[in-house]
């Protein structure tokens, strides 16, 4: 009797029947994320005009998905280049900004193994869309890390520290007592190169931009382990190597900047030396004298982490991330950061764009 009256109702009110069956399915299997507050851009262009903070609706957490509550994510130069549309690989628009960060597992899909709510994870290799409060992605994206890691280091450990680590390993064999030279020494990559080199007994010669307060900056870099720090104007001399007192001529140099700063790195290199370019902060080209090739036989190389981390490196890079996070936890890998609440995104962006002069790395906290 009860069944027949229910069928009768369904026949009379098909829309009601549909609503009820949907409701039942939703309660039994569909898990949704919370809504997410996100930095979105609908077209590429100047980041300060094309980005806006919006609320995105909940999305389904499928059986192999993990929903992450983001804790922190930096604004890196490459994030800016992706939004500008000048980075070689960039997400399709509309897109959420950000590429690395750290978050806490909020919920997991029914088939997910090895992760539980409360665990800390980073996307590894990094992947787009970290500037939002909740991210839902496949289990394979996430690497579980030690929860005792300082949050801001966990958020920033891949793009820059891993670049520094790889560049010290991948070009020439360096032995304790050797020296390297670099420009852009105040960048996070630069600060990591100083410390990772020192950890291996390798000396560093560092070049920074001229600025007010350069003595204080030099002191900070020396405290990290830099042997020598010069401003670009200090190197306007005929024989830059004459400025080195007890250091060997470097065989390896790193170029973060281009333009004159790159020429200065080349001047320090010894016969047969190699300069690795990984950044172009000045947006100026590298000019190399003919004599550098003929008489010094210098080599010019490049490094791009995103290419290095092609998917077959996923398993290789995770132990390196753990190694770097261990160093950060021990206080042996440090770099300057400013933590900024997500609500102040546009102020942090202005600082990252250099509108307010030299600033520490901006790290958004959620
Ligand atoms: N190839 C790769 O795989 C790879 C990986 C990671 C990073 N990168 C690149 O490495 C570079 C540094 O990244 P980061 O995140 O470590 O940097 P960061 O911490 O954000 O610091 C920015 C650095 O750039 C310098 N800078 C800013 N504007 C400049 C200008 N107009 N002229 C000269 N120098 C300028 C700053 O010097 P001041 O202190 O004087 O302001 C500072 O040293 C970027 O170009 C980034 O894209 C490349």
pLDDT in 10s for each residue of the chain, 366 residues: 332 332 222 222 233 233 333 333 444 578 999 999 999 999 999 999 999 999 999 999 999 999 999 999 999 999 999 999 999 998 999 999 999 999 999 999 999 999 999 999 999 999 999 999 999 999 999 999 999 999 999 999 999 999 999 999 999 999 999 999 999 999 999 999 999 999 999 999 999 999 999 999 999 999 999 999 999 999 999 999 999 989 999 999 999 999 999 999 999 999 999 999 999 999 999 999 999 999 999 999 999 999 999 867 778 899 999 999 999 999 999 999 999 999 999 999 999 999 999 999 999 999
Residues with CB under 6 A from ligand 1: 76-78, 159-160, 163, 184, 186-189, 209, 211, 256-257, 278-279, 281-282, 303-305, 354, 358, 361
Could you count the other beta carbons within 10 Å of the beta carbon of residue 3? 7
Paired strand residues for 365: 72, 341
Question: What DSSP line would sit under 9-37, residue for residue?
Answer: HHHH-HHHHHHHHHHHHHHHT--BPPPEE
Looking from the CA of residue 358, the nearest atom of ligand 1 is: 41
The position carrying tokens 């400025």 is: 243
Taking CA 88 as the corner, what is the angle to CA 300 and CA 319, rounded to the nearest 5 degrees?
A: 75
Closest CA to 38 of 64, 57, 20: 57
Tokens of residue 337, six digits: 């950061």
Tell how far the Cα of 361 is from the centroid of ligand 1, in angstroms: 10
* pLDDT at position 25: 40
If you take atom 9 of ligand 1, which residue's CA is the nearest one? 279
* pLDDT at position 179: 98
Mutation probe of ligand 1 site: the residue of 81, 184, 259, 340 with most atoms within 8 A of C-beta: 184
Local structure of 248: helix, strand or coil:
coil
* pLDDT at position 298: 98
If you take atom 32 of ligand 1, which residue's CA is the nearest one? 282
188-199 vs 163-170: helix axis angle to the nearest 10?
50
Q: Is 87 one of the catalytic residues?
A: yes
Tell how far the Cα of 160 is from the centroid of ligand 1, in angstroms: 10
Mutation probe of ligand 1 site: the residue of 213, 256, 364 with most atoms within 8 A of C-beta: 256
If you take atom 44 of ligand 1, which residue's CA is the nearest one? 279
If you take atom 38 of ligand 1, which residue's CA is the nearest one? 358
Mutation probe of ligand 1 site: the residue of 89, 187, 336 with most atoms within 8 A of C-beta: 187
Could you count the other beta carbons within 10 Å of the beta carbon of residue 5? 9
Tell how far the Cα of 191 is from the centroid of ligand 1, in angstroms: 11
Closest CA to 105 of 26, 37, 30, 33: 33
If you take atom 31 of ligand 1, which residue's CA is the nearest one? 282
Structural contact between residues 321 and 162, judged by C-beta atoms closer than 8 angstroms: yes
Regarding beta strands 228-231 and 203-208, do their DSSP bridges make them parallel or antiparallel, or are they unpaired? parallel
Is-cis flag, bond preceding 125, omega within 30? Answer: yes
* Active-site choice (41, 87, 134, 199): 87
Question: Which residue segments constitute the domains of the chain, with CATH numbers given?
Answer: 36-156+336-365 (3.90.180.10), 160-307 (3.40.50.720)
Tell how far the Cα of 366 is from the centroid of ligand 1, in angstroms: 24
Dihedrals φ, ψ of 252, to 5°?
Answer: -135, 135
* pLDDT at position 19: 32
Tell how far the Cα of 256 is from the centroid of ligand 1, in angstroms: 6
User: Alpha-carbon distance 39 to 74, whole Å?
Assistant: 13
User: Alpha-carbon distance 229 to 186, whole Å?
Assistant: 10
Tell how far the Cα of 23 is from the centroid of ligand 1, in angstroms: 52
Cα-atom radius of gyration of the chain, to the nearest Å? 25
Tell how far the Cα of 22 is from the centroid of ligand 1, in angstroms: 52
If you take atom 40 of ligand 1, which residue's CA is the nearest one? 209
């Amino acid at each position: 009797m009860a069944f027949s009256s229910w069928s009768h109702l369904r026949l009379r009110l098909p829309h009601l029947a549909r609503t009820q069956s949907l409701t039942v399915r939703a309660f039994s299997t569909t898990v949704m994320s919370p809504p997410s507050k996100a930095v979105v851009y609908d077209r590429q262009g100047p980041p300060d005009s094309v980005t806006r903070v919006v609320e995105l609706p909940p999305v389904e957490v499928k059986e192999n998905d993990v929903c992450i509550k983001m804790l922190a994510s930096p604004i890196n130069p490459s994030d800016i280049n992706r939004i500008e549309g000048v980075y070689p690989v960039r997400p399709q628009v509309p897109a959420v900004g950000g590429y690395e960060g750290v978050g806490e597992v909020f919920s997991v899909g029914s088939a997910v193994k090895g992760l539980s709510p409360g665990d800390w994870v980073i996307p590894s290799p990094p992947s787009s869309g970290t500037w939002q409060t909740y991210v839902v992605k496949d289990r394979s994206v996430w690497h579980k890390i030690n929860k005792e890691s300082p949050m801001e280091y966990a958020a920033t450990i891949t793009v820059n520290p891993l670049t520094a680590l790889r560049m010290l390993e991948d070009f020439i064999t360096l032995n304790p007592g050797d020296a390297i030279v670099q420009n852009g020494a105040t960048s996070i990559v630069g600060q990591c190169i100083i410390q990772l080199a020192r950890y291996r007994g390798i000396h560093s010669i560092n070049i920074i931009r001229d600025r007010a307060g350069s003595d204080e900056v030099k002191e900070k870099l020396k405290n990290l382990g830099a042997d020598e720090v010069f401003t670009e104007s200090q190197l306007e001399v005929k024989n830059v190597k004459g400025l080195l007192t007890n250091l060997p001529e470097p065989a390896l140099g790193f170029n973060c900047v281009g333009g004159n700063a790159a020429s200065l790195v080349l001047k320090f290199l010894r016969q047969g030396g190699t300069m690795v370019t990984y950044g172009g902060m000045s947006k100026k080209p590298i000019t190399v004298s003919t004599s550098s090739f003929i008489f010094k036989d210098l080599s010019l190389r490049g490094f791009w982490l995103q290419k290095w981390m092609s998917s077959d490196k996923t398993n290789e890079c995770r132990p390196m991330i753990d190694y770097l996070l261990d160093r950060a936890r021990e206080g042996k890998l440090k770099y300057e950061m400013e933590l900024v609440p997500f609500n102040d995104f546009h102020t942090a962006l202005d600082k990252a764009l250099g509108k307010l002069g030299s600033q520490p790395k901006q790290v958004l906290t959620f």
